[in-house]
């Protein structure tokens, strides 16, 4: 099956899971290390928004003391994520939660570290989504939202493999991680008045949001 970005039904979930466990597999531990390092939060409650099969949240749980909630609007993705957490022996610290980023089903101030990879490109209302992420952050909490592959080497290796599945994959990636989205995300965060930093380098395109005290 060719890779079709944006398919989040059962077939899409199985396909994303296969990619996450093969081509993308080396990416998640690298991203987890970068997130822990850049955000400086390694304990408390973590929310992986648009977790898909849960690979980033699971990598973060492996590399830290965080308790991780995997949030996704696709029940098929969450079923795979729950199984993956179980297989990783992390069911006590990694659990699924059905919900939409535009209306996160968690109380205000209940999350120390919110992360999200590869999901923001599908959100309909960025302003509302980022407001919700900010709402659930606890004082001192941080969010790390965007997309990417961690390093130039990983990005290029993923490109070679993914282009075999879908010849349009590079243009999809370049559009997602390019200047258009960078300006769009930065504009929304500035309009909301959220303290943030945009990271656009070999690790990808990321918005780091600081909730402050
Ligand atoms: N984060 C995972 C990763 O990097 O492997 C999965 C990325 S996948 C390309 C995008 C995920 O975002 C899908 O699982 C999809 O269901 C989820 N998603 C899309 N829109 C969403 C929304 N509005 N709220 C919550 N999840 C959403």
Residue-range domains of the chain with CATH: 10-210 (3.40.50.150)
Q: How far is the CA of 46 from the centre of ligand 1 (A)?
A: 16
Return the pLDDT at 25. 98
CB of 209 closer than 6 angstroms to any ligand 1 atom: no
Task: State if residue 203 touches ligand 1 by the CB under 6 angstroms criterion.
Answer: no
State the pLDDT at residue 2.
53
Contact 71, 48 (CB under 8 A): yes
> Which atom of ligand 1 lies closest to the CA of 13?
14
- Residues whose CB falls within 8 Å of the CB of residue 49, separated by 6 or more in sequence, listed in order: 71, 101, 104, 114, 115, 116, 119, 133, 145
Task: Check residue 6 and give its pLDDT.
Answer: 77
Per-residue pLDDT of the chain (213 residues; tens, 9 = 90+): 455 677 899 999 999 999 999 999 999 999 999 999 999 999 999 999 999 999 999 999 999 999 999 999 999 999 999 999 999 999 999 999 999 999 999 999 999 999 999 999 999 999 999 999 999 999 999 999 999 999 999 999 999 999 998 999 999 999 999 999 999 999 999 999 999 999 999 999 999 999 998
> 37: CA distance to ligand 1 center in Å?
23
């Amino acid at each position: 099956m060719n890779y079709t970005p944006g398919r989040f039904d059962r077939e899409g979930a199985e396909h994303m899971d296969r990619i996450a466990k093969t081509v993308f597999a080396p990416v998640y531990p690298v991203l987890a290390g970068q997130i822990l390092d850049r955000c400086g939060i390694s304990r408390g409650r973590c929310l992986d928004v648009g977790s898909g099969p849960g690979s980033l949240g699971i990598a973060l749980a492996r590399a830290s003391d965080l308790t991780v909630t995997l949030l996704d609007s696709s029940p098929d993705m969450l079923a795979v994520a729950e199984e993956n957490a179980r297989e990783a022996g992390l069911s006590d610290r990694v659990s699924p939660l059905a919900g939409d980023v535009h209306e996160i089903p968690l109380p205000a101030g209940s999350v120390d570290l919110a992360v999200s990879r590869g999901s923001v490109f599908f959100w309909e209302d960025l302003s509302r989504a980022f407001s919700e992420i900010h709402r659930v952050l606890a004082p001192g909490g941080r969010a790390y939202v965007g997309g990417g592959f961690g390093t130039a080497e990983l990005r290029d290796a993923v490109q070679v493999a993914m282009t075999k599945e879908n010849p349009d994959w590079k243009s999809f990636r370049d559009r997602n991680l390019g200047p258009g989205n960078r300006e769009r995300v930065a504009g929304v965060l500035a309009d909301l008045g959220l303290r943030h930093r945009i990271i656009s380098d070999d690790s990808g395109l990321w918005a780091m949001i600081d909730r402050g005290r």
